[in-house]
Amino acid sequence: MDKKPIYKRVLLKLSGEALLGRLLHGIDAEMCASLAEEIKEVHNAGVEMALVVGGGNFFRGQVESKRFGLERSVADYMGMIATVMNGLALQNALEQVGVPTRVMTAIQMHAVAEPYILRRAIRHLEKRRVVIFVAGTGNPYFTTDTAAALRATEIHCNVIMKATKVDGIYSDDPVKNKAAKKFSDVRFIDVLKKNLKVIDATAISMCMENNLPIIVFNLLRKGNIKKAIYGEKIGTRVH
């Protein structure tokens, strides 16, 4: 008997940096194409997929507000608009491989994306469209991690899959500290107590309150999206 996905509806959280590929800034077309192929494989297996994408490959509000002396709320809105560019790039890559998509934005811009409406988002998923949520929550001071937790809760996802450049959650930065310990499983409350910074505290608190598990894994290893959805033990599971 063929193995089947263990999740029916999944939210995949991608950082803006995930789209950099070999570049230092902007969007790597090859990386987008590779991601699209992986998402297509999962989509074809019958999984309902939603994406939340960050904008750090263009602009990070919290960082840039300090660097340029911008008002934090202005910088955050600029960061939210950066996520729209990434969402459109992902939409284009997915539709080139035959996956129907809809981009839904928390900041209205009718020429390029639909406004986020919960019932419409759920209907798109039921009609087998991949939904890409952009512009964060539409509010400053909230990260795209929080947007992912919010949208996943609203649309009743079974899990959030957070794709990063490391293969899970560690006790410290594994690049700077070779002795950092990797967690295969960790409780929500321990992520907060130990101040593990892979996911922001607001997102963790929301997932804990709604009993929504998170899988943190390495996006750069091809096939990891499928492995996570099929229940293979990769990365770190937060529950």
Q: What is the pLDDT of residue 1?
A: 41
Strand 130-134 with 214-218, pairing: unpaired
Whether the per-residue pLDDT at 236 is higher than 80: the answer is yes
**What are the Cα distances from residue 77, in Å, to 60, 80, 101, 143, 153?**
10, 5, 24, 11, 23
pLDDT band of 47, cuts 50, 70, 90: very high
What average pLDDT does this structure show over 53-79?
A: 83
Whether the CB-CB separation of 17 and 165 falls below 8 Å is answered with yes
Apex 172 CA angle, 153 and 35, nearest 5? 50
Cα(137)–Cα(126) distance, integer angstroms: 22
pLDDT band of 120, cuts 50, 70, 90: very high
Work out whether the CA dihedral 173, 35, 128, 103 comes out positive or negative: positive
**What are the Cα distances from residue 23, in Å, to 16, 63, 87?**
12, 20, 18
Q: What is the pLDDT of residue 86?
A: 96
**What does the pLDDT look like over 8-40, one tens digit per residue?**
999 999 998 889 888 888 899 999 999 999 999
**What does the pLDDT look like over 136-155, one tens digit per residue?**
999 999 999 999 999 999 99
Cα(208)–Cα(220) distance, integer angstroms: 27
**What does the pLDDT look like over 162-185, one tens digit per residue?**
998 888 899 887 778 888 889 999
Q: Is 19 helix (H, G, I), strand (E, B) or coil?
A: helix
Whether the CB-CB separation of 6 and 231 falls below 8 Å is answered with yes
What is the rounded average pLDDT for all residues in the chain?
Answer: 92
At 200, list the tokens.
Answer: 């922001």
Q: Output the pTM of the full model.
A: 0.94
**What does the pLDDT look like over 179-191, one tens digit per residue?**
888 999 999 999 9
Q: What is the pLDDT of residue 144?
A: 95
Cα(126)–Cα(77) distance, integer angstroms: 31
pLDDT band of 61, cuts 50, 70, 90: low
Structural class in CATH, domain 9-238: alpha beta
pLDDT band of 65, cuts 50, 70, 90: low
